[in-house]
């Protein structure tokens, strides 16, 4: 399996992470990519540089106001003259009867779901590079590859059409799915990150052509808390095209595989032409965020289960944070997929 990767992600090196009132160094660090690259090397995957697709793929899923904000944000922040090293919102998007702000502090709040996506000097460039990685992987699959892995950083599945949040700025999985829609009437997204793919759900919630399925730690106790419940099924033309499968804290391999089986039934019934896997590896028993307890062997089983769907597949890297087992888990899930194919 080919793997798409660029070193341009390193320009995004966030520092700020607010955890229960305590400021810590974020777990979404450039070192994540190094550990994932080690996993790709162990699996003998061929690295491919991404093509540059420009704004088009991003504009299919993100609003013009949001893309303009992301492009202008850092320079406007610096121009304030007394601003910090990262952009952290101090207002948030309570939009009831609200007016879109013109001041950069107001725009930052409008376009931020939480404080978990600090913007630095190189954030926008890295986020754009990540969408190029995802789009390149999708294009390779459209050109005939059976499956391709996209090592995207920063991740994307918490990013809405016009809001950043949870380490995410531009929604790489949504960008990949929208690109696949150029040649497929229906596309499915299967999100196996430990967190609910709330941004992806939001982008496609009223669309019948993209099925969004998310298997995640129950938001009753886990981020994002206010999205990801089983009753969220889509709306309008998209009613029934969204499936959430929340899992109890500490869920391990066997029960996770049962959830994959439930997702498989829905995906088969939808009959998509292609599949995007939002590949979070943070369901691991060793992940520092400690929501679920999937083993490395379990990740291999997850890869095999995805392979049995028999669909052209784009793996888009989402979460999975600093642990000694991160690279091995990536090797396992992609290896399990290849073996089952």
> Which residues carry out catalysis?
158
Contact residues for 127 (Cβ-Cβ < 8 A; gap 6+) = 12, 70, 154, 156, 169, 170
The total of other beta-carbon atoms located within 10 Å of residue 75's CB is 10
Query: What secondary structure, in 3-state letters, does the chain show?
Result: CEEECCHHHHHCCCCEEEECCEEEECCCCCHHHHHHHHHHHHCCCEEECCCCCCCHHHHCCCCHHHHHHHHHHHHHHHHCCCCCCCECCCCCCCCCCCCCCCCHHHHHHHCECCCCCCECCCHHHHHHHHHHHHHHHHHHHHCCCCEEEECCCCCCCCCCCCCEECCECCCHHHHHHHHHCCCCCCEEEEECCCCCCHHHHHHHCCCCCEEEEEEEECCCCCCCCCCCCCCCCCCHHHCCCEEEEEECCCCCHHHHHHHHHHHHHHHHHHCCCEEEEEECCCCECCCCCCCCCECHHHHHHHHHHHHCCCCCEEEEECCCCCCCCHHHHHHHHHHHHHHHC
Helices 123-142 and 64-79 sit at what angle, rounded to 10 degrees?
A: 150
Answer for the pair 153, 113: CB distance below 8 angstroms, yes or no: no
Bond from prior residue into 224 cis (ω within 30 degrees of 0):
yes
The radius of gyration of the chain from alpha carbons, rounded to an integer in Å, stands at 18
């Amino acid at each position: 399996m080919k793997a798409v990767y660029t070193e341009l992600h390193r320009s995004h090196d966030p520092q700020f992470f607010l955890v229960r009132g305590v400021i810590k160094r974020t777990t979404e660090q450039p070192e994540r990519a190094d550990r994932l690259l080690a996993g790709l090397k162990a699996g003998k995957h061929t690295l491919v540089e991404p093509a540059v697709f420009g704004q088009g793929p991003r504009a299919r899923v993100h609003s013009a106001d949001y893309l303009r904000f992301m492009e202008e944000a850092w320079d406007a922040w610096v121009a304030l003259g007394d601003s910090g090293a990262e952009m952290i919102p101090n207002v948030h998007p309570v939009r009831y009867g609200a007016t879109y702000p013109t001041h950069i502090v107001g725009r930052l709040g409008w376009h931020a779901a939480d404080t978990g996506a600090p913007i630095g000097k190189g954030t926008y460039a890295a986020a754009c590079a990540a969408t190029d990685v995802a789009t390149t992987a999708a294009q390779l699959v459209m050109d005939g590859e059976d499956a391709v892995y996209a090592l995207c950083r920063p991740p994307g599945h918490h990013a809405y059409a016009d809001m950043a949040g949870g380490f995410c700025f531009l929604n790489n999985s949504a960008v990949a799915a929208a690109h696949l829609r150029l040649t497929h009437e229906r596309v499915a997204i299967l999100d196996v990150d430990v967190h609910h793919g709330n941004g992806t759900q939001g982008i496609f919630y009223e669309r019948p052509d993209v099925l969004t399925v998310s298997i995640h730690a129950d938001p009753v106790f886990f981020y994002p808390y206010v999205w990801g419940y089983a009753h969220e099924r889509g709306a309008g033309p998209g009613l029934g095209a969204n499936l959430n499968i929340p899992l109890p804290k500490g869920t391990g391999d066997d029960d996770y595989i049962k959830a994959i089986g439930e997702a498989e039934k829905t995906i088969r019934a939808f009959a998509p032409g292609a599949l995007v896997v939002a590949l979070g590896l943070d369901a691991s028993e060793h992940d520092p965020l400690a929501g679920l307890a999937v083993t490395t062997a379990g990740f291999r089983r997850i890869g095999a289960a995805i392979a049995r769907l028999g669909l052209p597949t784009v793996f888009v890297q989402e979460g999975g944070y600093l642990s000694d087992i991160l690279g091995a888990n990536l090797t396992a899930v992609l290896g399990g997929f290849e073996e089952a194919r």
